[in-house]
Amino acid sequence: MATLLHLDSAAFPQGSTSREVTAAFVAAWREQHPNGDVVYRDLAAAPLPHLDASAIAAGADDTLRGELAAELAAADAVLIGAPMYNFSIPSTLKAWLDQVIIVGHNAGPDSPVAGTPFTVVASRGGSYAPGTPREDFEFVRNYLEKVLTGMLGAEVDFIVPELTLAHSKPEMAELIPLALASRTQAFTEAAEKAKALAARLAD
């Protein structure tokens, strides 16, 4: 029986594309793997404290850090909703990463998390894809890929719904068809990836 650790970090509980896509992923996961467990953390509703000196010094002996690290280690797969805020990830998600990544415990070449599949829903209001004017402003996918693979040795896959602000910004109105296509693709990918991952872990 596989365990999925699901983290959402979007500030708004309603109308969040990243939350909608992660919810679709979880629904497909449960359909494919009804006996699996889903452990959920809403980092916006229940934010974690920023890492401080005492927690750094304590490492895995810190109560919260030890709990988070154990929760991560027990997960067979991880799902993260990571909307782009000011070209980067929400501070609530950064706080989780700072708390859960513990050098000498789960970070490094012998990480117990190595090989764990992470699926990141990296939604954004515009487009930062290669070849776009703001390509070099993309610090969500680039950062998360580096930190999750480089420190934890995780296997990382991304779902990237783009242009989520097209419906609300008049200057982006001409991009609405592309936004709709990106949204549809994101939901399709969420269902497909969740089912494939659940089937793989259920073997």
Q: What is the pLDDT of residues 100-129, one digit of tens each?
A: 999 999 998 889 999 999 999 999 999 999
The Cα 186–Cα 174 span in angstroms is 20
pLDDT classification of 91: cutoffs 50, 70, 90: very high
What are the pLDDT digits (tens) for 166-178?
A: 999 999 999 999 9
Output the pTM of the full model. 0.95
Whether the per-residue pLDDT at 22 is higher than 70: the answer is yes
